[in-house]
Amino acid sequence: MTVRPVPRQAALIVNAHSRRGRDLFREAKTRLEESGIELLESHAVKDPRNLNATVDRAVANGAPMVIIGGGDGSLSCTIDFVVGRDCVFALLPLGTANSFARTLGIPLDLEGAVRTIATGRRRRIDLGTIDGDYFANCAAMGLSPMIGEGIPHKLKRYLGRVGYLAWATWCLIKFRPFKLSIDNGEEKRTVWATEVRIANGRFHGGVELVEHTDVDSGELVVQAVTGRSKLALVWNWVASLLKLPARQAPVEHFHGQVLRIDTKPRQKISIDGEVLAKTPTVAELAHCAVEVVVPAE
C-alpha cells in the first residue's frame, strides 16, 4: 500500500481561549510557514463556541490538512469534522494536560510539535464515541467530570496542573462513590467504583493510566478504579504518576468494541476534558476513523 505524504498546505485554527493558545498563535504561524507549510487560512478563535464552525468551514473549503492548536477538549470537539473526509488532522498541544498529544508521542513544546507536522507521517487511528459523539483519547466519569466542569478558568489558565491539583483536592472532599454496571455483549458486571475511564489512548489528565491500549488497537478499554475508598483513588493516581507496581491494585479492566455503561446514581461524563454526557450511555469504537500526523520515527 502506498504511503501518502503529509500535505504541505493546511488551515491553522487555534483556540485562543486555551491556556497557551492566545500567547503562541503568531509564533506557531511563523514557525509553520518557515518549516514549509503553506497556510491557506489561519484563525485565532477567541470564543470557543466558534471553534467548531471555523474548522467545519476550513474542511468544507478543501483544506487538505487542518492544524488545531489547543487542549484536549479543543481537539476532541473538532476532530469530528475530519471523520469521513479527505483531510488530515494535525495538532499543536497548547492545553494543560495534552493527553492526546502524549498518546501520539507528539512533543509538547511548540518547536517540536511544528517539526512533527513538517517532517512526520500519517497514521490512521481509531476514535471512540459516547452516544455517537466522537472522542479522541479518553472519556471519564467520577471525580474527573467534577474537576473539569467546575474548575475556574483563571485557575486553570495561570496555574496549569498545580491549579488542577488544588481544585481536585476540593472536589475530592465532596465526591461520593457509585455503582457501575458494564455490559460488553458477553457478560455484565456490577461493581462499586470511584472513577471510570473509557479509553482509546493511554493518557488521561496528563498521566499514563491505561497502559495496555492504543489509538489503533481495535477496541476500547474501560478502566474502573473499584471499591468505595477515596484514598484508593488518590493512591491510584499517585502510583500511576510515579509508575509504581501497585498502581493496578484497585483497578479492573473491561474490553470491547461496544460497551453499555450504567451507574447508580447517574454520573456526568467528561469527554476529553469537557462534560458533555450522562449515564446510561453506550461507548463504541469507530475503527480507523481519521488520519493524524505523528512523528516519523
- The CA distance from 218 to 255, in Å, is 10
Stronger pLDDT, 286 or 156, i.e. the higher one: 286
Q: Which helix (H) or strand (E) holds 287?
A: strand 281-294
Q: What mean pLDDT comes out for the span 239-253?
A: 84
pLDDT, tens digit, for every residue of 181-230?
999 988 899 999 999 999 999 988 888 888 878 899 999 999 999 999 88
Alpha helices in 108-226 (DSSP H): 110-119, 143-150, 153-159, 161-174
Give backbone dihedrals phi and psi of 243, rounded to 5 degrees, phi first: 60, 40
Is the confidence at residue 57, as pLDDT, over 60? yes
Residue 85, number of CB atoms within 10 A of its CB? 15
- Three-state secondary-structure class, residue 148: helix
CA angle 83, 59, 18 (to 5 degrees): 85
Banded pLDDT at 21 (limits 50, 70, 90): confident
The pLDDT of residue 249: 77
Cα gap 134→223, rounded to integer Å? 19
Structure-model confidence comparison of residues 100 and 297, the more confident one: 100
The cell numbers describing 130, all together, are: 459516547
For residue 156, pLDDT beyond 70: no
Crossing angle of the two packed helices 143-150 and 161-174, in degrees rounded to 10: 120
**133-287: which CATH architecture?**
Sandwich (2.60)
- Note the pLDDT tens digit of each residue in 285-296: 999 999 999 999
User: In whole angstroms, how far apart are CA 179 and each of 108, 182, 259, 262?
Assistant: 37, 10, 16, 8
Indicate the SS3 state at residue 120: coil
- The residue type of 62 is G
Q: Please say if the pLDDT value at position 159 is more than 50.
A: no
Say yes or no to pLDDT of 274 above 50: yes
Determine the Cα–Cα distance for residues 164 and 71; give it in Å rounded to an integer: 14
Give the length of the chain. 297
CA distance 274 to 238: 23
Query: Coil, strand or helix: which one is 264?
Result: strand
pLDDT of residue 246 exceeding 80, the answer is: no
> How much is the average pLDDT of 146-159?
58
* Domain spans in the chain, listed from the N-terminal domain onward: 9-119, 133-287
The 10s digit of each residue's pLDDT in 221-234 is 999 999 998 888 88
Residue 230 pLDDT: 84
The CATH topology of domain 9-119 is Rossmann fold (3.40.50)
